[in-house]
Amino acid sequence: MKSPISSLQSWLPLNIFLIISTSVLISSTSATTIFDIPRLSPLGGILQDPETVFSANVSDDFETFYYNQTLDHFNYMPESYSTFQQRYVINSKYWGGANRSAPILVYLGAEAPLDSTYLTAIGFLTDNAAEFKALLLYIEHRYYGESIPFGSRTEAFRNASTLGYFNSAQALADYAEIILNLKEQLQAQYSPVIVIGGSYGGMLASWFRLKYPHIAIGALASSAPILYFDDITPQDGFFSVVTKDFREASETCYQTIKDSWSIIDEVATKPDGLSVLSKTFKTCDPLSSSSGLKTNLVWMYARAAQYNHPPNYPVTTICGGIDGAPPETEILDKVFAGVVAYSGNRTCYFNATQNISETIIGWRWQVCSEMVIPIGITNNTMFQPRPFILSNFTEGYCRSIYGVLPRPQWVTTYYGGHDIKLILQRFGSNIIFSNGLKDPFSSGGVLVNISNSIVAIHTVNGSHCLDMHPANQTDPEWLVIQRKAEVNIIKGWISNYYFNLLAAFRQ
């Protein structure tokens, strides 16, 4: 196993000091399932074109290491001392070195493997590493990728007993332990640490700053819906934004979608109705109910809104297909034209057999334990009402799978959230909450400044975690300005840290 100190010593003197597609598997039968709580992946939009992502070569500047991580940071039972190998990656190409107390940017991995997808698609760190002269550290979340306790994924996911160590508090403690260990190895005790995350990882970044202020001097939390817990945010917030996005793109498109649900139901009631719907939408398998088709359409629209990134703008693409159909076209054919515009020409759509990824399995446990984000649909959207009913979710799904019940109040108990401005302005500092208002999850984000140093930066046309993606020459000006503002704030944190550090040495 490689050591980061031996790897970096090739160019460092020995005494030098040294950072949610919602990839949703759609249920075709149940109206209240785990997939009513979508993943928070920052890369969902990019994954619409998976060949581009997975064909990208990871630079040789990224080196992979493994840390012998503690299984249970919060108990002293014999089994708590078990360990597992946790993966992390370092890019030291631009680092100014520990003798200059150059900063460390730490990307907090979320509900996905820390593989080439993340290392190439999370561009904010590499785009700004040279300017900060920063060491880049990426840490994989426990139970994802290669960071699996109990020796194997089968054993780790065997039941609630082995999954019981799979939660955000343990993950934050993992990050803290790795960061401190790395700083010790590199003699970088005075290098300031900035934690960065997007989506669920953005929540982790903000919580890390609050729980471990002695380790990280600041946090950038992109598209982090920390207020979408415990009824702080109305459950229809997510789909209200989806509706707003489509209505702003095209009133006729919005109305077509809104009218389509009752027509689908009407067709389904006819003797050969499901066969007609299957043919109209070219489903991969014959439909067994109209609810399966409607659920797929709902989440297609939701993904398009969440990842409505330039230059393709999926919402505009779907509406272009719907509005571009000839005037005499039937409504369901218009809707299908939107499906084709979004997904491209395929032999079939929707209900093909899919492999359930490790990420979906992991997120299923997380939302059945603590990440209970109550996303529902009310009468105020372009969708048919489909409220989130906690008892159905709890008893009808989570208990049946794991034998345990979710704890919907635990996130706000452990991290806070209620009266957040009143609370955090008294003791919190140095957190950036960035959001794009076209992102449905922005409805649960922090959109106003809490204090002078806990700030909200949002863009009217921004989408989910767009500021985390690599900079591109075609980026709109508002996105360039957003990223620049974030960088300038982080520079201020680091400058203030150095000022205080110098003052301490002079005493």
CATH of the domain at 177: 3.40.50.1820
pLDDT of residue 502: 92
Active site (catalytic) residues: 199, 439, 464
Expressed in angstroms, the distance from the first to the final Cα of the chain is: 42
pLDDT of residue 266: 97
The domain total for the chain is 1
Determine, yes or no, domain membership for 498.
yes
- Beta strand residue intervals within 338-490, DSSP E: 431-436, 454-459
Neighbours of 255 (CB within 10 A): 15
pLDDT of residue 494: 98
pLDDT of residue 36: 58
Determine, yes or no, domain membership for 350.
no
Determine, yes or no, domain membership for 235.
no
pLDDT of residue 491: 98
Question: Helix, strand, coil shares of the chain as percentages rounded to 5?
Answer: 45, 10, 45
pLDDT of residue 120: 87
Which pair of tokens denotes residue 138?
């990426």
Rounded to whole angstroms, the Cα distance separating 457 from 206 reads: 14
Q: Give the mean pLDDT per block of 10 residues along the chain (507 residues).
A: 49 29 33 52 55 54 97 97 98 97 97 88 96 98 98 96 97 98 98 97 98 98 98 96 98 98 97 97 95 95 96 97 95 98 96 80 95 94 95 92 95 97 95 98 98 97 97 96 98 97 89
Determine, yes or no, domain membership for 367.
no
pLDDT of residue 18: 24
Using the Cα atoms of residue 130, residue 131, residue 137 and residue 139 in order, give the sign of their dihedral: negative
pLDDT of residue 352: 73
Domain extent for 186? 44-222+424-506
Determine, yes or no, domain membership for 204.
yes
Determine, yes or no, domain membership for 301.
no
Determine, yes or no, domain membership for 445.
yes
> Strands 193-198 and 135-139: what pairing?
unpaired
Determine, yes or no, domain membership for 396.
no
Rounded to whole angstroms, the Cα distance separating 222 from 199 reads: 6
Rounded to whole angstroms, the Cα distance separating 366 from 358 reads: 12
Helices (H), 186-236: 200-211
pLDDT of residue 4: 62
